[in-house]
Structure 1
Amino acid sequence: MKIKRTRSHILLSCFAIIILLLYIQALKTAEPIENIPLPGELHPVLAYQSDLLIKQAEAKGIRVIITDDFRSYHEQEELYAIGRTAEGKIVTQAQAGESYHNFGLAVDFALLNDEGQAIWDMDYDGNLNGQSDWMEVVGLAKGLGFEWGGDWRQFKDYPHLQMDFGLSIRDLQRGERPPEQTSAIK
């Protein structure tokens, strides 16, 4: 009798796990809550704040360039393939639809050295004030309301800046969108 009960519990547990996995998969592929098209460019608030970041950095003698902003699903898949099915070192953990870049809510930046070349040297002190230009830019960005990928616990993304407006990737996938007005700026 006890063996039958144990088998029943095991079967019920397996059934519950299968149902849970099916539910999670259904959530991942759920249709958007509204028929809202995907953005095709950088969100206006991010565009404004990115320009402001460049100007504030310039005032400190630091030249910044935005190296990437809005990214299509196709572009995201190509980046995701690097280090997996394409040659190179892994550059992203996000597949198409899993990056704030895909919703126009993220930018990547680099510094420009004296020769005008983009560099990603976090120790570079081009303005010769004894501080890392990179970290000065990060401080300015945070002051403008950006979240920095270097603060992430896993897969630190040092060139990455984003504003999520309180929306998760799941919210964005389901069709929720942040306000378009610059009055939404912190």
Structure 2
Amino acid sequence: MLYNKMNHDYVDLGENAHLPSELHPVVEQNKNKLVDKAAAIGIDVVITETRRSVKQQDKLYAQGRSTGGNIVTHAKGGESYHNYGLAIDYAVRNKNGTLIWSTTYDGNKNGKEDWYEVAEIAKYLGFEWGGDWLNFKDYPHLQMDFGLSINQLKKGVRPDTKTNQ
């Protein structure tokens, strides 16, 4: 089991809070396990997004609002677990190399939708799946929050980097 190393007397670092440049080691480790476990049942998972900058997040947030396209996120810069290296996005790739974004695709022909099979593996590994959210379904999204809120992360609190799994 993972435990957070939290200092409850933390100082609000605001914009100066250190943002990681890569995925948290536990997220990285479980991302790789996810890809391997899915491959073992005939599903080719592609990780389409990992850590993203606040600027990248703001650009995504603008999509469907002040720029063209559909709304793909409700999180502004600094309000996404991606900004803290705690989230990944995925898609499924078919045998022709095309990324599949449909949740009904059954490429391994076992009578189950590949997208949901991947989500189940991810949840087993400790990820939270955006497809389970009530207000805004984010099917490609997987995150590990380590019990930390976005507000805590914004204030500089970070999960322990030790991998206990």
- Name the TM-score, length of structure 2 as normaliser: 0.90
- 1:162 equivalent in structure 2: 143
Question: Following the alignment from structure 2 to structure 1, what is the Cα–Cα distance between the partners of residues 29 and 162?
Answer: 10
Gaps of 5+ in 1: 1-29
Corresponding letter in the other structure for 2:101: W
Question: Following the alignment from structure 1 to structure 2, what is the Cα–Cα distance between the partners of residues 165 and 51?
Answer: 18
**Greater than 3 Å deviation, 4+ residue runs:** none
Q: Which has the higher contact order (CA 8 A, sep 6+)?
A: 2
- Structure 2 residue 83 is the aligned partner of structure 1 residue 93: no
Question: Following the alignment from structure 2 to structure 1, what is the Cα–Cα distance between the partners of residues 35 and 92?
Answer: 10
- Using the TM superposition, give the Cα deviation of residue 154 of structure 1 relative to its aligned residue in structure 2, in angstroms: 0.7
- 2:124 equivalent in structure 1: 143
Rg larger for: 1
Question: Following the alignment from structure 2 to structure 1, what is the Cα–Cα distance between the partners of residues 146 and 115?
Answer: 24
- Using the TM superposition, give the Cα deviation of residue 31 of structure 1 relative to its aligned residue in structure 2, in angstroms: 3.5
2:87 to 79, 83, 106: 106
Structure with the bigger percentage of helix: 1
2:49 to 56, 68, 77: 68
* Cα deviations by residue, 1:33-72 (Å, 9 ceiling, x for unpaired): 8x65111111111111000000000000000000001000
- 2:153 equivalent in structure 1: 172
- Using the TM superposition, give the Cα deviation of residue 32 of structure 1 relative to its aligned residue in structure 2, in angstroms: 2.1
2:26 to 30, 45, 48: 45
- 1:77 equivalent in structure 2: 58
SS of aligned partner of 1:108: strand
SS of aligned partner of 1:109: strand
- 2:109 equivalent in structure 1: 128
SS of aligned partner of 1:161: strand
SS of aligned partner of 2:142: strand
- Structure 2 residue 36 is the aligned partner of structure 1 residue 55: yes
- Using the TM superposition, give the Cα deviation of residue 82 of structure 1 relative to its aligned residue in structure 2, in angstroms: 0.5
Gaps of 5+ in 2: 1-10
Question: Following the alignment from structure 1 to structure 2, what is the Cα–Cα distance between the partners of residues 141 and 31?
Answer: 32
Q: How many residues align?
A: 154
TM-align CA RMSD:
1.4
SS of aligned partner of 2:18: coil
Is contact 2:17–2:154 with CA below 8 Å preserved after alignment? no
